[in-house]
Amino acid sequence: MKNTLAHQAPFQFPNGGLVKNRLVMAPMTTSAGFYDGSVSDDLVEYYKARAGTIGTIIVECCFVDNLGPAFPGALAIDNDRMIPGLARIARAIKSKGSKAILQIYHGGRMVEPELIGGKTPIAPSAVAAPREGAVIPREMSAEEVDMMITKFGDAVSRAMKAGYDGVEIHGANTYLIQQFFSPHSNRRNDKWGGSRENRANFPLEILKITQKMAQYYEKHNFIIGYRFSPEEIEEPGIRFEDTLYLLDKLAEQGLDYVHFSMGHYLRNSLINKEDATPLITRYIKERSETLAKIPVIGVGSVVNLGEVNEALAHGYDLIAAGKACIVYPDWADKLAEEVKLELTMESGQRIALKVPEPLWRFSLVDALIREAEPTVKHYKMGVFEEKVELEAQKLKISVELSTDRITDVMMEIDDTLDIDFTETFEEIRNRILVANSPWVDAVAGATAQSEALKKAVSRAMTQSTKEHILATGGNLNELQHFDVVVIGSGGAGLAAAIQAHDDGAKVLIIEKMPTIGGNTIKASVGMNAAESIFQKIKGIKDDRTLFYQETLKGGKFINNQKLLHSFIQDTPIAIDWLADKGIELSDITITGGMSIDRTHRPADRSAVGGYLISGLLKNVVSRGIEVMLDTEVVDISYENDTPSAVKIKDDKGEISTLKAKSVVVATGGFSANAKMVEQYKPELKGFVTTNHPGATGCGIKLLTEIGADTIDLEQIQIHPTVEQKTSYLISESIRGGGAILVNHFGHRFCNEMDTRDHVSQCIISLPQKNAWIIFDDQVRLNNKASEEYIEQGLAIVADSLIDLAHKINIEESALEQTLKRYNQWVSKGKDEEFGRETALRYQLEQAPFYAILIAPGIHHTMGGVVINQEGSVLDKTRYPIRGVFAAGEVTGGVHGANRIGGNAIADIIVFGIRAGSQAAHYAQNKR
């Protein structure tokens, strides 16, 4: 028998890859991904907590194709959007010194139709799995088989880009690769089926394309493993001799390890139960010389040091543990202590052990929990009906709840509902059930329907909670207690809530509107930051001093300079904070008033607002932060000169009170309050606003009532490019992408990249007080936000410049001459006519051409309550009001007399993080 320290010895794979020891964390389904297969914060923390002493972590299987998820909450690697999230897991593991290997798979016929939008699963042949309720899959065509191999190759490429040290090809657990090798599921008669040799072609081709990817990227030490189930109980099915044949063929082609998939490391045959010989013993005895050179991983019921040593003695080269790593994140350290380990967990240990909630509720893990949750359950079990109005219809929604989960959402169907709406319902229903929360992304193109359904579920949960309190003898009038109450659910509010939670506070978000997102969700251009990691990656040389100077100049030098300097310093940190939470703003453009590309936006160059809110909301849901919609805070109460409670009013007019130790106000500005705008800047009477209806200044009123001071309320920004009929803001990224402005004579009239106030004034000075923004298809292709303007019918489209001139009633020769002169300036890199020196990206010459009629609209209120660098609200003596913090457009001082495009998103994230952290620490000091 190998000695007790054998598992601690370093191990080298055939390709030269070295791991610190022979211990492996087995790939285990957590069901903790988001509805779209992306990575949650909980998963990153889960893997990070288990990395370190253990040599290798094999991350749970990721599906390579959108028809491949075999279980809810599965992770995806089917498109490039998944790379950043998966990279977070790889970085978390590798930062602790462990190797990170990613398992890739396709569920094939084991996929449930409801997981893939009701579609029929695919498989080698149209043979249902031998289990109750299994559907008959659709047989893959030869072309689809070839494409599937390519998709596995693409997945390997993404794993490399995400920074993994290797991949494990999942050829076990009756998933697609095993289905191709199985005579039960593969009844084909082409080169992919029939004989055992042909059935082996698919897994061999998967290995081949994996190896090609490693060679292409010159990843010479990239570890390639293969997971296998040694037998099938089906008849006909895979037998042990078949498995040895396949593994031998794989070994001849080149592998770094093979990995048994069994419930016990010394399991004997499932087929010949009279033979008590462990399969690993048979494997060692019967394998070929070629296969004997390939390391083998054993798994199943390995917990204590004795089992590790026994497994090594039987011939396994590496030992993988699953449940032991869940119960003991430091399992490798525990082995060194040589103490007896028990596979049990206390019911209150989930957070301490950093186990994602879906995994905690998985039956195999649930069996390890010593006792049921002793805390009060959230809901009363039953079905709760709610009616919501949608487009002149009243929808009847039924929500089924268990004691702590949403188990179903149902809608009463009638003839007035079109098929598109019923499809929307199914999509949003699935998202809600997977997240166990109504706070999920709206379905694209169906925002109103999505919000109506989410509202119905939220109401049902509220009603069920009330009934539970009554049924258990509770008192509805007994006040709920929170450490931090965040008022407002835009970017600043969500960032504050996330940070406060992560700093140990019990948090509640209160939003007066029926939807989450505030004004942030309408943001389009991006987030400014200097000296960010993404600028460095792209070779953009920037410095925070220059950013400070340009923002101060843009604000006409009336900015609070201490506040501004502090804000600028933290912008790259805020970019990192977002990236750490799966919200990467890695593409970079420029806005008016800036001299360097520092406006960060999503990699696909889409509008920043929806992407940001979606990402923040996922983080809110994964943390279980409570949210109240349709609820207005009408008063903040004080006891002993410190916050004690907030008084709220719901959409039914009912007043109630919540206990609070600190408050963060993030309610936005007052651009949608016409009377307030006119009060402070009369000349803006009658201007349209780009803001959402909730931007009424309620937070400013709330805070001034408790003594807050205000600053710069008269500083109200108008945005130069607003479509007037719809109040749609045409993003600054369009001009930053190369567009120009022309008057009704077809002439340019200003530097389009000047600050917003200057460009707006130039437009107002025109006789018509409006202008055309002109761009070509090259600008459109590099600015995804433009697609929405075109889809909404805001843009006039023409196949030629002459045709465009006719459509917008401009003399064609004048427009042609204007673009000719502009294109000359682009070639020179300097606009000698109006002094434009930035965003001279492309000559406008690629058809089709686009024009949108625009004029200024009220966009941002620079003034608000006074805060200090920590986000504390200051009174009229400029002394902090204890326990009250604010962030975002409700505050003043950062932007001065004019806000630079891209600084609002930076403002809400930087000060949202600060306010949330300060509020949490204040509340904790009151405990």
Question: 3-state SS of the chain: helix, strand, coil percent to 5?
Answer: 35, 20, 45
pLDDT at 649: 93
In this predicted structure, the answer to whether residue 543 has a pLDDT above a threshold of 80 is yes
Closest by alpha carbon to 73, among 103, 42, 35? 35
- CA dist., res. 109 & res. 136, Å (int): 8
Residue 196 appears among annotated catalytic residues: no
pLDDT tens-place string over residues 417-442? 555 667 778 888 888 887 778 877 77
In this predicted structure, the answer to whether residue 806 has a pLDDT above a threshold of 60 is yes
Confidence of residue 473 (pLDDT cuts 50, 70, 90): confident
CATH fold for domain 6-366: TIM Barrel (3.20.20)
Helix/strand/coil for 397: strand
Average the pLDDT over each of 337-341, 594-598, 634-638 and give the range with the smallest value: 337-341
Pinpoint the alpha helices (H) of 792-902: 801-807, 812-828
pLDDT tens-place string over residues 570-626? 999 999 999 989 899 999 999 989 999 999 999 888 889 989 998 998 889 888 898
- CA dist., res. 249 & res. 698, Å (int): 71
pLDDT at 283: 97
| Gyration radius (Cα) of the chain, Å | 30
Mean pLDDT score of the chain: 91
- CA dist., res. 252 & res. 207, Å (int): 11
Q: Is 389 exposed, middle or buried (0-12, 13-18, 19+ CB in 10 A)?
A: exposed
Whole-number Cα distances in Å, 347 to 28, 157, 504, 816: 20, 40, 20, 73
Architecture of domain 493-715+862-925: 3-Layer(bba) Sandwich (3.50)
pLDDT at 496: 97
Q: Are 22 and 312 in contact (CB under 8 A)?
A: yes
Whole-number Cα distances in Å, 268 to 306, 323, 691: 19, 21, 68
pLDDT at 372: 35
Return all residues near 570 (Cβ < 8 A) that are at least 6 apart: 910, 913, 914
Phi, psi of 803 (to 5 degrees): -65, -40
Confidence of residue 2 (pLDDT cuts 50, 70, 90): very low
Task: Name the catalytic one among 158, 431, 756, 780.
Answer: 756
- CA dist., res. 104 & res. 693, Å (int): 46
- CA dist., res. 456 & res. 450, Å (int): 10
In this predicted structure, the answer to whether residue 7 has a pLDDT above a threshold of 80 is yes
pLDDT tens-place string over residues 146-183? 999 999 999 999 999 999 999 999 999 999 999 999 99
**What one-character DSSP code corresponds to residue 265?**
T
Pinpoint the alpha helices (H) of 217-349: 240-253, 279-286, 289-292, 305-313, 323-327, 331-337
pLDDT at 375: 36
Instruction: Work out whether the CA dihedral 233, 236, 242, 243 comes out positive or negative.
Output: negative
Give the β-pairing of 587-589 and 481-487: unpaired
Q: Are 419 and 118 in contact (CB under 8 A)?
A: no
Return all residues near 156 (Cβ < 8 A) that are at least 6 apart: 104, 167, 209, 210, 213, 214
Give the β-pairing of 872-874 and 891-892: unpaired
pLDDT tens-place string over residues 176-212? 999 999 999 999 999 999 999 999 999 999 999 999 9
Q: Residue 174: left if φ>0, alpha if ψ -120 to 50, beta else—which one?
A: left
Q: Is 722 exposed, middle or buried (0-12, 13-18, 19+ CB in 10 A)?
A: buried
Query: How far does Cα 710 stand from its chain's mean position?
Result: 36
Question: Domain limits of the chain?
Answer: 6-366, 382-478, 493-715+862-925, 716-858
Burial 659-687 (b: 16+ CB within 10 A, else e): bbbbbbbbbbbbbbbbebbeeebeebeeb
- CA dist., res. 228 & res. 246, Å (int): 10
Give me the mean pLDDT over the 641-664 stretch: 92
Architecture of domain 716-858: Alpha-Beta Complex (3.90)
The residue to which tokens 């003839």 are assigned: 415
Quick one: tokens of 673?
């309050």
pLDDT at 792: 85
Average the pLDDT over each of 273-277, 441-445, 641-645, 792-796 and give the range with the smallest value: 441-445
Closest by alpha carbon to 712, among 579, 857, 862? 862
One fold for 6-366 and 716-858: no
Return all residues near 403 (Cβ < 8 A) that are at least 6 apart: 377, 378, 379, 380, 381
User: Cis omega before residue 374 (within 30°)?
Assistant: no
Instruction: Work out whether the CA dihedral 240, 246, 248, 254 comes out positive or negative.
Output: negative
Quick one: tokens of 17?
């890859």
pLDDT tens-place string over residues 376-423? 346 778 889 888 776 656 778 899 988 777 888 888 766 555 556 677
pLDDT at 363: 58
- CA dist., res. 123 & res. 664, Å (int): 53
- CA dist., res. 17 & res. 482, Å (int): 50
CATH fold for domain 382-478: Sufe protein. Chain: A (3.90.1010)
- 563, containing H or E segment: helix 561-580
Predicted model pTM: 0.59
In this predicted structure, the answer to whether residue 38 has a pLDDT above a threshold of 60 is yes
Interior angle at CA 842, CA 841 and CA 843, nearest 5: 140
